[in-house]
């Protein structure tokens, strides 16, 4: 895992973190099927290390995740591993800061006493959520599978330093933040069926920047219950001749992402001034 400079534009440097995520495991078997014998006890094991290349674009908090093998670790495995790493680093920071402030108070009894609870309030424990980016074509393809679309549930997620381009969801996010809500939902429900054309448009607006989770429920044309979420209509793009070295692959991944943005398939918010300052300092630290 290493920092990569993706664009050194005068107005805004673009910095990412590229790396390889490996799931080192052992596959075990207890039996096999043989023609004429049926199931036969046969224990064996084999090491396996499926992998994926990832690029995290720090300016807009977007993740590009490329599976290198058929059984590559899932994005959820990546999320849980990354979150564990972030929380370990957070604990290290809190402990170090507590020791520093305690030592300062020993030298100066008049210094304000700070507890670890105080430090957790000023620097909260990190959380991490991965929300797949979607395409309107994929959304329409999935919604058209419904004979009766009964429920749409849109869950507003905590954001980084960014705004929603859609005024409705931007207003809802501001209300969520202002009231201190940890979970805010927009839910449409009609047992006789929601308008699918309007549903496609609203889901596209809700998911185009990757800030909202969507859940769908209804009945398909076979009469079976059909449920879906962002995973079912996430944006995918095949990549050819990608370098096996993550740092080298990063530029191709970023160029592919920029192409999706320029074509309108992906919407990204303008980086906040705070984010620009942080990324610029990282670019100067690692690449100047």
pLDDT for residue 276? 84
The CA distance from 242 to 126, in Å, is 32
- What's the token pair of residue 52? 């994926």
pLDDT for residue 165? 61
Domain end: 211, 233, 255, which one? 233
Q: Are residues 154 and 225 in the same domain?
A: yes
The CA distance from 174 to 158, in Å, is 11
The CA distance from 255 to 8, in Å, is 14
Please state the domain count of the chain. 3
Query: How does pLDDT run across 172-204, given as a tens digit for each residue?
Result: 888 888 888 878 888 999 999 999 999 999 888
pLDDT for residue 273? 82
Look at residue 100 and tell me if it is in a domain: yes
Q: Are residues 65 and 89 in the same domain?
A: no
Look at residue 131 and tell me if it is in a domain: no
Which residues contact residue 149 at a Cβ distance below 8 angstroms, ignoring those fewer than 6 apart?
Answer: 143, 193, 194, 196, 199, 216, 218
Structural domain range at position 18 = 2-75+244-287
Look at residue 130 and tell me if it is in a domain: no
> Is 219 in a helix, a strand, or coil?
strand
pLDDT for residue 171? 84
Look at residue 129 and tell me if it is in a domain: no
If we measure between CA atoms, which residue out of 38, 64, 39, 33 comes closest to residue 242? 64
Q: Are residues 60 and 87 in the same domain?
A: no
Q: What is the reported pTM?
A: 0.79
List of the chain residues with pLDDT < 50: none
* DSSP string covering 230-276: GGGGB------S--SSHHHHHHHHHHHHHHHHHTTSS--PPPPHHHH
Look at residue 128 and tell me if it is in a domain: no
**Which letter does DSSP use for residue 29 in this model?**
E
Query: In which element (H, E) is residue 278 found?
Result: helix 273-287
Query: How does pLDDT run across 252-272, given as a tens digit for each residue?
Result: 999 999 988 888 777 777 777
143 and 193 in contact (C-beta within 8 Å)?
A: no
pLDDT for residue 137? 81
pLDDT for residue 131? 85
- What's the token pair of residue 114? 């700070």
pLDDT for residue 132? 84
């Amino acid at each position: 895992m290493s920092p990569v400079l993706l664009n050194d534009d005068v107005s805004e440097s673009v910095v990412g973190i590229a790396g390889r995520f490996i799931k080192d495991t052992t596959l075990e078997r207890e039996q096999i099927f043989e023609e004429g014998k049926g199931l036969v006890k046969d224990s064996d094991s084999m090491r396996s290390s499926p992998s994926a290349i990832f690029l995290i674009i720090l300016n807009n908090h977007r993740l590009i995740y490329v599976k290198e093998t058929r059984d590559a670790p899932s994005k959820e495995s990546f999320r849980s591993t990354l979150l564990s790493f972030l929380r370990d680093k957070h604990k290290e920071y809190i402990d170090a800061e507590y020791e520093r402030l305690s030592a300062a108070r020993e030298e100066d009894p008049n210094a304000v006493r700070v507890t670890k609870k105080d430090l957790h309030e000023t620097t909260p424990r990190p959380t991490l959520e991965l929300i797949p980016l979607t395409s309107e074509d994929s959304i329409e393809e999935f919604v058209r599978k419904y004979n009766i679309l009964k429920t749409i549930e849109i869950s507003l997620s905590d954001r980084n330093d960014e705004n929603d381009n859609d005024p409705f969801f931007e207003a809802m996010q501001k209300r969520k933040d202002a009231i201190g809500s940890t979970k805010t939902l927009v839910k449409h429900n009609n047992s006789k069926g929601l308008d699918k054309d309007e549903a496609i448009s609203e889901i596209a607006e809700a998911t185009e920047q990757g800030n909202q989770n969507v859940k769908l429920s209804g009945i398909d044309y076979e009469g079976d219950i059909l449920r879906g979420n962002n995973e079912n209509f996430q944006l995918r793009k095949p990549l050819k001749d990608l370098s096996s070295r993550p740092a080298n692959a990063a530029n191709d991944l970023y160029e592919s992402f920029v192409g999706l943005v320029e074509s309108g398939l992906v919407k990204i918010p303008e980086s906040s001034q705070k984010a620009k300052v942080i990324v610029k300092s990282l670019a100067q630290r690692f690449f100047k």
